[in-house]
Chain A
Amino acid sequence: MATVAEDRLFGKSIKRREDPRFITGRGQYVDDVKLPGMTYAAFVRSPHPHAVIKGIDASAARQVPGVIAVYTGEDVKVGGLPCGWMLPDIKVPPRPALASGKVRYVGEPVAIVVAESVYAAKDGAEAVRVDYQPLKATVNPKSAHDKGAPKLFDDIPDNQCFYWTIGDKAATEAAFKSAATVVRQPLVNQRLIPNAMEPRACVASFSPAMGDLTLWVTSQNPHVHRLLMAAFILGIPETKMRVIAPDVGGGFGSKIFVYNEEVVACWASKTLGRPVKWTAERRESFMNDAHGRDHVTEAEMAFDRDGKITGLRVKTHAALGAYLSTFAPLIPSFLYGPLLSGVYKIPVIFCEVWGMLTTTAPVDAYRGAGRPEATYLVERLMDRAADQLGVDPTELRRRNFIPKFTDGTPYQTPVAFAYDSGDYEPALRRALQMAGYDALRKEQELGRKQGRLIGIGVTTYIEACGPAPSAVAGSLGAGAGLWESGQVRVHPTGAVSVYTGSHSHGQGHETTFAQLVADELGIPMEQIDIVHGDTAQIPFGMGTYGSRSACVGGSAIFRSLEKVKEKGRKIAAHLLEAGEQDLVFEKGAWSVKGAPGKSKAWGEVALMAYLAHNIPQGMEPGLEATSFYDPTNFTFPFGAHVAVVEIDPDTGHVKILRYVAVDDVGRVINPMIVDGMVHGGIAQGVGQALWEHGIYGEDGQLVTGSMMDYALPKADQLPMYETDRTVTPSPVNPLGVKGAGETGTIASTPTIVNAVIDALSGQGVTHLDMPLTAEKVWKAAAASRK
């Protein structure tokens, strides 16, 4: 396998080519789509968390001027929304596009109103009368399991969707029996609500003349959207459906999934013969976009006399919400349990997960998806253990690191994963050096004497990116392969269009992928076009999530580049009347070794491929290649983060004084873009640690359903980040890249919590559940002061 040569555009902070259109308001988002005869949809949503629908009266709504039609669950005849990941013995409840018979969470769509204007649609929705008979809510994944908890579905006992385990139970129990020390900690990983800048939206347009359907939708994976909708929901051939995900303003996972609204809009467009547009209001996003996290966990770690980990035992109740979102079962199972080994040598692990139905919005992948939950658990336990064992938390981590393995031999954990490569100590060393760890500890000590509450938090993490080897994914329950496609089409001038199955919704693919192409073909970025997000243009592709674009999508493109170069070399050799082995490709031209005057530029070769006047005998004209790259393993980025915080003992306010992040994401194509992802990721993780919480009251109402109540991080609450990288190339793919989209989110949550608990450790505090709101911190500081 060829690997890329050092130092061309690879590794340069090229400014993002897509930004001029974004920052001047010229992006083309779904809501910018305007079609002749377009209609507008509004949804009537359940105000109850759990209720029987006794009747729907839409007569007044139909009288509202401008209203064209009102449809309920009785009318909309389409298949239910499928779940794309199966686990053994899983019970999959039916998920209708519009509620039928019962509603099971606040915000569940009950009816659609289609009108000539958005205003008329909203007025119509307000006029629909629904008669509900309220039932009791159950919002907590642990108590939903209790006998006597309200049941969401008659045929799903105890609201338990699945019970899943990983690891060796007997061996783990034995390890705990012989342990010198056991650290126990119940943990809540609270529910989060994703908030992409662009809310979800769709425009469905059925053409009665052609009999086909075009759907513009805010999707991270348009082909997956098309497959699920055409085959499973609408029952039409894929050839009759085109899905376009144009500019998409952020996803964080929430736009992977197929949702009710686009399904109903498609059906309504077909029924009415007119385009139907729907754009979420922010409060609809809060209620109906898939949420993240929401685990209630008991975790225990066993240690021997030397402070070496001998076992880990985990019991987690994970909320899935009222219905199974597209990949819901995957997140608290295979994206969670296999991460529990962290960067540590843990001989035995046993993890049990109960997948629970709750009367809340569905829960699915949210930036990090399972890995943040696992990392938080492991890193909190490490700090608890350091405290209990009386050793410095960095020392305890060092003692337990998996030793360096960078020779291509993977490290096999007891929970399925074989890490591709790793060298954990240098990242920690670098982070501690940047932070000035020893000096910080002294400053902390000194501060304590003056009544200052300063805390230092450290996390060493691993994460798994680049899902995934398709056969492995299949064996674990995936309803799809997880390879990626990349097509390189060379035009007669030598300019290149790249069609990628990856989807950019903030990641900057138009820049990074073009950097790869420019390097390989020696042509300027201006001659390279990166095309994505349209099933009519690109080969079947799997989309973007799980930090997979560079390592899986980029590798597919790279393979195709190799193929077109290979053919180009043959044509050049033919034209130069030289042997292929005598040619060198440099700066966009082939030349004959030792005969500097004899050369053919990339453009000349491309032109000849299309003129086909003089190409090797038997060769087909044209110059393009398609590759489907199936990775042989996940990639495993890792790193060390350090935070310094100070607590205002009067108010409990946590101020982040410093934040140091050293990440190893393998080779880096565009450092500026990676820095941007790390920065945003850290902010998102800090948000979980300190502020964000999707709260459902006991009555099932969403309490934090707007930006007035749900506290997203803001710039003035965050410090200037100090970042650096170590570089351990991944042996898994030809680019040596790993994935950088989620590391910040995964590492920063435990880093901040560890820092806050460290600040309070002088007061005897050992743990607080997130978010560490000012009141919680103040109470903890005050209570222990007494």
Chain B
Amino acid sequence: MYPAAFEYHAPASVREALGLLGQYKDDAKLLAGGHSLVPMMKLRLAQPKHLIDLKKIPGLSYIKEDGGAIAIGAMTTHWQVESSALLKQKCPVLSETAAVIGDPAVRNLGTIGGSLAHADPAADMPATIIAHGAEFVCEGPKGRRTVKVDDWFLGLMSTAVKEDELLVEVRVPLWAGKTGGAYLKFPHPASRFAVVGAAAVVTLDGAGKCTKAGVGITGAGIKAVRARDVEAGLVGKNLDQATIEAAAAKAAEGVDVQADLQGSVEYKSHLCRVFARRALEAAVKRARG
């Protein structure tokens, strides 16, 4: 496990990092927590000539309330997300999702920005971010732009962040009213990544009717996706068990399910339905309080 030779850069600002990106282009890779990139380099599956370490840039690691959303800096570690009092109070599913990523060593180094930029098809956070309808703030040579979550995950390990950009912030809308959520996963017996993971966030009105629903599925396909058909089966309805089950039965629709050692297409599609149902049951229970 020895990577090929590379040059290491530690820029002190986003501007400097962007300068290096512009200079080395394809030959460069951004380094966040290194818990996805470095293993690939050690296997020599990735051989960047230049590593641009984001760790020395001040101001990329924070969790704060900001205009109806919680803003999370890209370099915030999984552990910081897991332990944040603000998130636990206002957006607990993010903390809960971070808590089931890898082990403490991974969570102490891996970052939310790294996870969402890397877009591993079995990563946990993407499902939760989709269910929350978050937004991504990218910074490039021409300044900042915001990308909606539905435009973020493009394909296998591919996202909307451009080659000359950094992901700098993730914005998660604050929960309103009677809202509840959950993220549940079926862990891979070896890697503990998600064979299938499902996140659900539902908001109910005074009468208990669902006014808003977000459901994200990860693990099963080549990328995390929004389970639109499930959401459609919930909004405007009273979320009794039959409604939840009927909606969850559509969880695999729109997922490009991939067969592998952990399961056939049939089994993984089934797990999508099971975990969507379980996440919804938990979310509704919490929304009702």
A445 on interface, CB distance cutoff 8 Å: no
Q: Are B2 and A711 touching (Cβ within 8 A)?
A: no
Q: Write out the residue numbers on chain A whose beta carbons fall within 8 Å of the beta carbon of B1.
A: 281-283
Q: Write out the residue numbers on chain B whose beta carbons fall within 8 Å of the beta carbon of A651.
A: 186, 271, 274
A123 on interface, CB distance cutoff 8 Å: yes
Q: Write out the residue numbers on chain A whose beta carbons fall within 8 Å of the beta carbon of B261.
A: 695, 703-704, 709
- Also in contact, A712 and B190, with CB within 8 A (given A703-B261, A775-B263): yes
* Those of B185-206 within 8 Å (CB) of chain A: 186, 188-192
Which chain A residue shows the least CB distance to B274?
Answer: A650
Nearest Cβ on chain A to B264's Cβ, whole angstroms: 7
Number of residues of chain B lying within 8 A (CB) of chain A: 20
In the assembled complex, the Cα of A93 lies from the Cα of B261 at a distance in Å of: 33
Q: Are A775 and B264 touching (Cβ within 8 A)?
A: yes
Q: Are B190 and A708 touching (Cβ within 8 A)?
A: yes
In the assembled complex, the Cα of A748 lies from the Cα of B36 at a distance in Å of: 35
A779 on interface, CB distance cutoff 8 Å: yes
- Also in contact, A691 and B189, with CB within 8 A (given A122-B2, A282-B1): yes
Of the candidates A119, A691, A717, A778, which one forms a contact with B2 in the assembled complex, judged by CB atoms under 8 Å apart? A119
Q: Are A778 and B267 touching (Cβ within 8 A)?
A: yes
Q: Write out the residue numbers on chain B whose beta carbons fall within 8 Å of the beta carbon of A76.
A: none
Which chain A residue shows the least CB distance to B186?
Answer: A651
B147 on interface, CB distance cutoff 8 Å: no
Q: Write out the residue numbers on chain A whose beta carbons fall within 8 Å of the beta carbon of B189.
A: 690-691, 711, 717, 773-774
Which chain A residue shows the least CB distance to B193?
Answer: A708
Nearest Cβ on chain A to B284's Cβ, whole angstroms: 18
Chain A contact residues, majority secondary structure: loop
Q: Write out the residue numbers on chain A whose beta carbons fall within 8 Å of the beta carbon of B191.
A: 707-709
Nearest Cβ on chain B to A778's Cβ, whole angstroms: 6
Nearest Cβ on chain B to A343's Cβ, whole angstroms: 32
Q: Are B190 and A126 touching (Cβ within 8 A)?
A: no
In the assembled complex, the Cα of A713 lies from the Cα of B40 at a distance in Å of: 24
* Those of A633-665 within 8 Å (CB) of chain B: 650-651, 653
Give the size range of A's interface with the partner: 20 to 34
B176 on interface, CB distance cutoff 8 Å: no
In the assembled complex, the Cα of A380 lies from the Cα of B176 at a distance in Å of: 57
Q: Write out the residue numbers on chain A whose beta carbons fall within 8 Å of the beta carbon of B267.
A: 775, 778-779
Q: Are B190 and A709 touching (Cβ within 8 A)?
A: yes
**Chain A CB within 10 A, most for which of B43, B188, B191:** B191
Q: Are B263 and A126 touching (Cβ within 8 A)?
A: no
B44 on interface, CB distance cutoff 8 Å: yes
In the assembled complex, the Cα of A711 lies from the Cα of B193 at a distance in Å of: 12
B4 on interface, CB distance cutoff 8 Å: yes
B1-20 Cβ-contact flags toward A at 8 Å (1 or 0):
11011000000000000000
A110 on interface, CB distance cutoff 8 Å: no
In the assembled complex, the Cα of A62 lies from the Cα of B26 at a distance in Å of: 29
Q: Are B186 and A653 touching (Cβ within 8 A)?
A: yes
In the assembled complex, the Cα of A714 lies from the Cα of B261 at a distance in Å of: 19
In the assembled complex, the Cα of A281 lies from the Cα of B44 at a distance in Å of: 13
A118 on interface, CB distance cutoff 8 Å: yes
* Those of A691-741 within 8 Å (CB) of chain B: 691, 695, 703-704, 707-712, 714, 717
Nearest Cβ on chain B to A630's Cβ, whole angstroms: 44
Nearest Cβ on chain B to A121's Cβ, whole angstroms: 8
B241 on interface, CB distance cutoff 8 Å: no
Q: Are A774 and B186 touching (Cβ within 8 A)?
A: yes
Nearest Cβ on chain A to B259's Cβ, whole angstroms: 10
Which chain A residue shows the least CB distance to B195?
Answer: A774
Nearest Cβ on chain B to A12's Cβ, whole angstroms: 35
In the assembled complex, the Cα of A714 lies from the Cα of B187 at a distance in Å of: 12
In the assembled complex, the Cα of A773 lies from the Cα of B5 at a distance in Å of: 40
Residues of B within 8 A of A (CB): 1-2, 4-5, 43-44, 186, 188-192, 261-264, 267, 270-271, 274
Residues of A within 8 A of B (CB): 118-119, 122-123, 126, 281-283, 650-651, 653, 690-691, 695, 703-704, 707-712, 714, 717, 773-775, 778-779
Q: List 8 A-B contacts (CB under 8 A).
A: A283-B1, A653-B186, A690-B189, A704-B190, A709-B261, A775-B262, A775-B263, A775-B264
Would you list the 3 A-B pairs with minimal beta carbon distance, nearest first?
Answer: A711-B189, A711-B190, A708-B191
